[in-house]
Amino acid sequence: MNEAVHLDELLSCRLDNGRRNLEPCTIVIFGASGDLTSRKLIPALYHLFIEGSLPTPFRIIGFARREKTDDSWRAELRDALGKFSRSKTVDDAKWQEFAAQITYCRGDLTNPKAFEQLGLDIRESNNESLRTNLLFYLSISPTQFAEVVENLHTSGLLQRPDQGGANHRVIVEKPFGTDLRSAQLLNAELMKFCHEAQIFRIDHYLGKETVQNILTFRFSNSIFEQLWNRHTVEQVQITVSENLGVGSRGGYYEESGALRDMVQNHLLQVLSLVAMEPPVSLQAESIRDEKVKLLRSIRPIAQNEVATNVVRGQYTAGEVMGEQRPAYRHEKKVAPDSTVETYVAMRLFIDNWRWSTVPFYLRTGKNLPLSASEVRVQFRSTPNVLYTAQCNQRLDSNAITLRLQPDEGISLRFNGKVPGTSMQLRPVRMHFSYDSEFGAYTPEAYERLLLEAIAGDATLFIRRDEVETAWRIVDPIGTAWDRKPLNGKEFYPAGTWGPVAADELLAQLGHAWRHPQPIH
């Protein structure tokens, strides 16, 4: 044995050198006046800058219709950074240095002339890389994606790799389509002007540290992966609950609902990472191949099977954390007779060798008692002898919970003997917490995603076939619900864990929801 390796040493292993060698890059943000830009994108870029992770030099150009100067836009962004930055205080000297790289280009997305101006702005730089290494962030309405990409192409700013655009990339925000057909159309439009390798479709859940850790947890440990199959797992529950209502986003939500807003993307992404087979390598395409394969193995739910496998819900007035919340139908920009779902619960089966017969329960909702995202893998109970025979239903079976947010961590629940002279058993918990192990460093998802896009690594982005396969899964559900009136069992008061029908869905197979717990 290598003498230098002490048995108990924490061997850490680097897959990179800790610092990417990034080429200088110009980032153009379409939708510069939008909420996402000031709340997420600029704070993320600022943090990357102060950590020294952005390439040197770099440029950020904001593109939008409103009349602004470089300085007035910078002032707006500085203001927003004060409110939304994850580090409480903003270092003014650093901000000045960062802001000096930011400029504003006023223009109309539909006007090819405006793109000529953008081209001039980009080319004015005397750094060759800044003129050719271009990242276009489409933080705009999905109805404008195709036109912007076409205008970029016509103005020569976005070329295919074989035509000189090897370093031209486009980041596309969600929602990517509203159903399979619209997603296919959008893909076809984008493909007219760029190659799949140049398109980075965002699902910000993939930028979360804990979501990335799912693959590390599964494939860098030998003890858990052996249990990860139908022989030992009884059911899996994936919960993404939110304790806020739709707030000011009623207009958007009326068009999307929880199915399109959360299930088609975030929940199915988490599910695919939890259930996929080991990829042949850690390369982007190997990982994405396995995710698509998994999504394809999900047993389709036909329209006439929706009622028995999927539950929708809509919140009525109620109280969340001591605060009164209005009914969804009374939110701003929501129709008073809206049938849009603010809650979805569903049971999926994965028809492959590993998971056949294991139910995967997915649920998400607004105005639930707690904001928490977690994956709970519930194991089968022990044979009906010894303790189980004596305890009847009172002996809990083991579970591993991957807590994605907040209070990020992983816990294993198993039974133990309560100390004392009597014979009493109860579940105990072994817990790994990110905070106590690594300190409170949890970078924003957008930081990681922007950095990966700058580096041209697509692992954390959604591939064309992936987005389409996900729509194929949810489309029949959306169609079955479309404008169908809600029945009494489909409402839930704000502050509760969803409609009664969701409990009945699990009861069909003798299961019950395990609600996330606040962890202090």
Cβ closer to ligand BG6: 406 or 493? 406
Instruction: Name which of 213, 209, 218, 268 is nearest 238 in CA terms.
Output: 268
Cβ closer to ligand BG6: 76 or 466? 466
Interacting positions 349-388 with ligand BG6 (CB under 6 A): 373
Q: Is 330 a catalytic residue?
A: no
Least CB distance to ligand BG6 at residue 481 (A): 18
- Residue whose Cβ sits closest to ligand BG6: 261
Tell me the residue length of the chain: 520
Four-point Cα dihedral 359, 478, 374, 234, nearest 10: 0
Least CB distance to ligand BG6 at residue 317 (A): 20
Binding flag, residue 331, ligand BG6 (CB under 6 A): no
Separation of alpha carbons 437 and 502, rounded Å = 36
Least CB distance to ligand BG6 at residue 447 (A): 13
Binding flag, residue 261, ligand BG6 (CB under 6 A): yes
Backbone angles phi, psi at 461, to 5 degrees: -120, 165
Task: Note whether 469 and 296 are within 8 A (CB).
Answer: yes
- Beta-bridged to residue 298, according to DSSP, are 350
Cβ closer to ligand BG6: 107 or 245? 245
Least CB distance to ligand BG6 at residue 347 (A): 22
Least CB distance to ligand BG6 at residue 516 (A): 13
Phi-psi region of 430 (alpha: psi -120 to 50; beta: other; left: phi over 0): beta
- Hey, how many other C-beta atoms are within 10 angstroms of the C-beta on 90? 15
Cβ closer to ligand BG6: 423 or 440? 440
Total of chain residues touching ligand BG6, rule CB under 6 A: 3
Least CB distance to ligand BG6 at residue 44 (A): 13
Cβ closer to ligand BG6: 169 or 366? 366
- Beta-bridged to residue 240, according to DSSP, are 364, 373
Annotate 435-500 with three-state secondary structure: HHHHCCCCCCHHHHHHHHHHHCCCCCCECHHHHHHHHHHHHHHHHHHCCCCCCHHHEEECCCCCCH
The encoded tokens of residue 185 equal 């159309």
Q: Which of 47, 153, 204, 266 is catalytic?
A: 266
Cβ closer to ligand BG6: 101 or 265? 265
CA–CA distances in Å: residue 395 to residues 230, 390, 411: 21, 9, 18
Least CB distance to ligand BG6 at residue 259 (A): 12
How far separated are the first and last CA of the chain, in Å rounded?
Answer: 42
293 Cβ contact partners less than 8 Å away, ≥ 6 residues apart: 276, 277
- Hey, how many other C-beta atoms are within 10 angstroms of the C-beta on 510? 8
**Interface residue with ligand BG6, options 242, 447, 452, 490 (CB under 6 A):** 242
Cβ closer to ligand BG6: 261 or 374? 261
DSSP 192-229: HHS-GGGEEE--GGGGSHHHHHHHHHHHS-HHHHTT-S
Separation of alpha carbons 321 and 304, rounded Å = 38
Active site residues: 266
Site residues for ligand BG6 per CB under 6 A: 242, 261, 373
